[in-house]
Amino acid sequence: MKSALFVFLGLNMFTLVEAQTFPDGFERVPVATGISSPTVMAFAPDGRIFVAQQNGVLRVIKDGTLLTTPFITLSSVNSLGERGLIGIALDPDFSTNGYVYLYYTTSVAPIHNRIVRYTANGDVALVASEQSILELDNLSGATNHNGGALAFGLDGKLYVAVGDNANNAHPQNLDTYHGKFLRINKDGSAPTDNPFYSEAASEQRKRVWAYGLRNPYTFSIQPVTGKIFVNDVGQSSAEEINDATTGGKNFGWPNAEGNSTNPAYTNPVYAYLHSGPQPTGCAITGGTFFNPQITTYPAAYVGKYFFQDFCSPHWIYSLDLSGTPTPTLFGSNVGNSSVAITTGPDGNLYYLSRGAGALYKVVYTATNPPVITEHPQALSVLAGASVSFSVSASGTQPFSYQWIKDDVAINLANAATYSISSAQPSNAGLYRVRVSNSAGEVHSNTAELTVETVVGVEDRNSDFYPNPAKDWIYFSHPVVAVELKDYVGRSSYISIEQNNQQTRLDVQHLPKGLYFLSYEWQGVHYKKKVLISN
C-alpha cells in the first residue's frame, strides 16, 4: 500500500488495547477471533461469513462460530508483503450453484495474481472443482500494490480491482491489467460492451473498465442503484474515493493524486489528505454504502458511505452524499489495522482487524421506533404477471409487518416483501405496509398497483401496429421524440428506422411485458401502452 509496508505487516505481530469511541448508543461487538492476518470477507445468503486469511486459508463463520475446518487451504500461495489471498466474491446464484471466486497470488512461476472459482460442498470446497477464471499479468519483484477486491455488479458482471505492482508506467497503459478496474463475465471473458473493447484490442484492454489507479484495495457497489465507488490508496498526499459507475474513466495516477485541474482525469468523489484538516490518514482500506434492507441504526445513517483508514487513530468516517460530500467522524480507535468495512445483511457494519486477528460488528443498542428508509413503489403490470412490493426500515429489531390493500389488512401478509404470483384486475388498488416494534409503528407511503389487459390491435389505420408486438412496431406516418419505457419507468434501448412514409421500431431484443410508448406527431405528444410478446 505504501512505502512504509512494515507498518502493514508489523502491526500483525501484536495487539494494541484501544478504547473505542462511537456515537451514543453504538458499540463494537466481537464476532470471531483467532483469524490470522484477515484481508477480506463475504456474506452468504444463509448467514455464513467467509473470511480470507492472507496465507491462503479461507475460513467460515457459521452461527457465530469460527469453524475449525477451513473452506479451503490454497496450496500455492505467495503471501509476501501485500500478496496472498486478498479477494473473495460469492456468485449471485450462490444459493443454487455454490460458486466462490477468489483472488490470490500464486507462488508457481511466473508469480502473478489469479482469479479462480471453487464450488462449495456444505462448509468446504470441492478442491477438484477449481476453475481458472482469469490469469493476471506477471508480477515484478515488488510485493505491494496488488489490489484484490472482487464483487458482482447489478449487471451480473464480475468487477476486479488490480493494483499497479508499484510501477508508475502501468496505470496509464491500457494494455496491462495493472492499475486498472476490470469488468469481466463470470467465465473471465471480456464483455463486448466494455468501453475499450474491440476485436483487435489486447486481452487486457478488452477487460478494462477504468484506469489510472494506484492500489484500489477495496470497492463497494450500492444496492438498487448499482453505483460503484473504488477506494484507491494514495502515495504521499491523498486517499481517494472514485466513482467508477460509468466505464471509461481515467482517475489520473501517476499524474494526479487527489484532485486535479487536468480535464483528462476524473477527480475523486472525495479525497482526504495525509496532513491538514481532519480526516487525515495514510491508507484507505475499506468503504461501504450503507443501504441495508433492515437496520437498527437511526435513519440518519442510511444512505451514507462509510470508509476507514489503516493507520492510527484507526477511525471510521461516514460520508454524506446528498450534496457536496461531507465527512463525519463515526468511530475512532476501532481496531488495530482495520480493513474491509462492509454492510452486513443484518444492517450492522462489519470490519476486520488485522492486528487483533478479529472480525467485529458495530451494533446500535438504543431502542428506536421504526423509520421507513425505502417505501414500496407503484407498479403497472399486465394481467398474469408477478408483482412484488417491498419496504426497508431502520430502528430496533425485530420488526412486525402488516400489508394493507385499500385500507384492509391482507391476511398472512406479514413480511418485508409482499408478492402476488399472478396479478389480476381484482388485485389492483392502493397498497401500504405498517412496520412496528416495541417502541412504536409507522406506515409506508401508498403504492398503487395497476393491472392492465391489452387487446391486440391490427388496424393499419391506427397510429401504430401490431399490439401486441413481437419483432417490430410500425407507424403509418413519420413520428419524432420516440421513447419506450418499461412498467417501472426505465428507458429501453430501441433502434428506429424511418423514411417519409413510415417509422418502425426494432423491439425484438426486449423482454416480454407491458411498456409505455411515447412519441410526437404533428406537434402533439402521445403516450400509449404496448405489449411486447417476445
Among residues 285, 221, 248, which one has the least CA distance to residue 40? 285
Q: Contact at 8 Å (CB) between 225 and 195?
A: no
pLDDT of residue 18: 57
* pLDDT per residue as tens digits for the range 45-77: 999 999 999 999 999 999 999 999 999 999 999
Among residues 2, 311, 23, which one has the least CA distance to residue 163? 2
Phi/psi at 326 (5° precision): -125, 120
Distance, CA of 113 to CA of 182 (rounded, Å): 14
Secondary structure (DSSP) of 387-426:
EEEE-EEESSSPPEEEEEETTEEPTT--SSEEEESS--GG
Distance, CA of 282 to CA of 1 (rounded, Å): 9
Distance, CA of 310 to CA of 321 (rounded, Å): 23
Q: Which positions ≥6 away from 250 have C-beta within 8 Å? A: 172, 210, 211, 212, 264, 265, 266
- The greatest distance separating any two alpha carbons of the chain, rounded to the nearest whole angstrom, comes to 82
Q: Contact at 8 Å (CB) between 292 and 345?
A: yes
Distance, CA of 301 to CA of 340 (rounded, Å): 19
Distance, CA of 186 to CA of 158 (rounded, Å): 6
Distance, CA of 91 to CA of 119 (rounded, Å): 10
Which residue positions in the chain have pLDDT lower than 70?
Answer: 1-19, 453-462, 487-489, 534
Among residues 322, 364, 318, 356, which one has the least CA distance to residue 339? 356
pTM, whole model, 2 decimals? 0.74
396, three cell numbers: 430496533
Q: Is 427 helix (H, G, I), strand (E, B) or coil?
A: helix
* pLDDT per residue as tens digits for the range 76-131: 999 999 999 999 999 999 999 999 999 999 999 999 999 999 999 999 999 999 99
What domains lie within the chain, and their CATH numbers? 5-364 (2.120.10.30), 371-452 (2.60.40.10), 464-532 (2.60.40)
pLDDT of residue 346: 94
